[in-house]
Amino acid sequence: MNDQVIIIKDMLLDMNGGPYILAAGILGISYLSYLFSCRIILQLLKRFFKQTETHLDDVLIERGVLSRLAFAVPLLVIYLFSDLFPDVSSVIQQCLSALFVIVFILVVNAAIDAVNDVYSRSKFAHQLNIKSYLQISKLILNILAGIVVIALLIDKSPLYLLSSIGALTAVLLLIFKDTILSFVASIQIHSNDLFKIGDWLEVPQFGADGDVIDIALHTVKIQNWDKTISVIPAHKLIDSSFKNWRGMSESGGRRIKRAIHVDQTSIKFCDEEMINNFKSIELLAPYLDSKLAEINAANADKHTNMETLVNGRRLTNIGSFRAYMEAYLRNHPLIHDKHTFLIRQLSPGENGIPIEIYVFTNVTDWIKYEAIQGDIFDHLLAVLAEFGLQVFQNPTGKDFEQLKS
């Protein structure tokens, strides 16, 4: 400190209220330095960053890294002038050191958030979400910063506080139980690739069914199909069962598993007239040619008396319809030809005989999938009557009205 500053200091201290005037002057200088940093330097940096091609500097501005760093400027000014108050300079410097640590950890927190923003926009974000790891890093850094701040304020070594905390391990484990469980759950999620952002999860225990939009340290956010958002604790999600539909999306096919229930009273053997009508159906013609040749050959070998319906082998309308369903779906351009393809008749029950379709579409988009499925069953239900079959349906009011008449 030069002689002029010492003379000015002595003059101010000799005046009535001199120390207060000196403190007010220092605070004024520190405030002006803060305004200079924010209004001039920071604004110039923002203009410069906007002209650059990289997005990293823009994210630093958005997250307030530089604006938080500006808080260190007035603290530095006060620290430089703290020697003007020798009686309390050590206390002032201790408090300022603690504030420096707080500003530093605020800057680090904002920088970590900026790293997460930059990473979330990269091509690797859908493969590995690092948000939970960054959050646990922030938690550890904040705890360490808190220990350093307290150590500076009480003028003790941080190791002294750490040794004291060691005795409270059980209490700390209880306090941070959910955090520890969530951290372990995050490791399981990422290491086992259980799910990631964009996956379709179905979690019936929590009433969630939709896309994963965020994976944090403590919570997983799922946007349901009705646009509501379910927030589920990460460790509880791992403890419960859930269904990830990613495999369906990656396979390139989506399953159709639905049955048409046929009225059992409409099932019968095919007569010549029905067979002739069936032959006019282009999709069914190859099946009829091979099946009729097989049936006629089998009956001829056994010299079967075909005058009685129950003798020998015959075509049935439900079997012909099942063959038509298979031919129709085999020729459908939107049915996957590499996945399971099955048309099966299930056990008869109180709701008729189910003819189940078990195939896969070659598109996975929900809206297109539903349209394809709807078109298929629209056609099959409409063509059912051509085979002399009826869909099973419980009696309605109209049926009872017809009975009365």
Total-model pTM: 0.57
Q: What is the mean pLDDT of residues 160-169?
A: 66
pLDDT in tens, 17-32: 556 677 787 888 888 8
Please give the pLDDT value at position 172: 67
Please give the pLDDT value at position 174: 72
Report the 10 Å Cβ neighbour count for 209: 19
pLDDT in tens, 342-368: 999 999 989 999 999 999 999 988 899
For the ranges 80-89, 231-240, 297-306, the one whose mean pLDDT is highest: 231-240
- Inform me whether the pLDDT recorded for 134 exceeds 80: yes
Please give the pLDDT value at position 167: 60
Which three-class secondary structure state does DSSP give residue 388? coil
- Picking from 365, 361, 344, the residue whose alpha carbon sits closest to that of residue 353 is 344
From residue 163, give the alpha-carbon distance in Å to each of 123, 150, 157, 166.
44, 14, 10, 5
Which three-class secondary structure state does DSSP give residue 199? coil
Q: What is the mean pLDDT of residues 322-335?
A: 94
Average pLDDT, the chain: 83
pLDDT in tens, 179-238: 778 888 887 887 777 888 888 899 999 999 999 998 888 889 999 988 899 999 988 888
Q: What is the mean pLDDT of residues 85-114?
A: 86
pLDDT in tens, 240-255: 889 888 888 778 889 9
Burial class (CB in 10 A: 0-12, 13-18, 19+), 372: buried
346: Cα within 13 Å, side-chain hemisphere: 17
- Picking from 298, 286, 266, 281, the residue whose alpha carbon sits closest to that of residue 390 is 266
> Do residues 290 and 342 make contact, with C-beta atoms less than 8 angstroms apart?
no
Q: What band does 139 get if pLDDT is binned at 50, 70 and 90?
A: confident
Q: How far is CA 121 from the centre of its chain?
A: 15
Please give the pLDDT value at position 169: 66
64: Cα within 13 Å, side-chain hemisphere: 8
Please give the pLDDT value at position 183: 80
Percent of the chain predicted with pLDDT > 90? 27
What is the residue extent of each domain of the chain? 3-167, 195-246, 254-402
Q: Which CATH architecture has domain 195-246?
A: Roll (2.30)
Please give the pLDDT value at position 30: 86
> Do residues 215 and 189 make contact, with C-beta atoms less than 8 angstroms apart?
yes
Measure the CA–CA gap between 26 and 77, rounded to whole angstroms: 8
Measure the CA–CA gap between 77 and 378, rounded to whole angstroms: 79
pLDDT in tens, 47-82: 887 777 777 777 878 888 888 888 888 888 888 887
In the sheet that 342-345 helps form, which strands lie side by side, from edge to edge?
254-262, 353-361, 342-345
Measure the CA–CA gap between 311 and 321, rounded to whole angstroms: 22
- Inform me whether the pLDDT recorded for 397 exceeds 90: no
- What DSSP string describes 50-76? HHSS-SHHHHHHHTTHHHHHTTHHHHH
Contacts of 139 (CB under 8 A, 6+ apart): 179, 217
Please give the pLDDT value at position 1: 46
pLDDT in tens, 264-296: 999 999 888 898 899 899 999 999 989 989 888
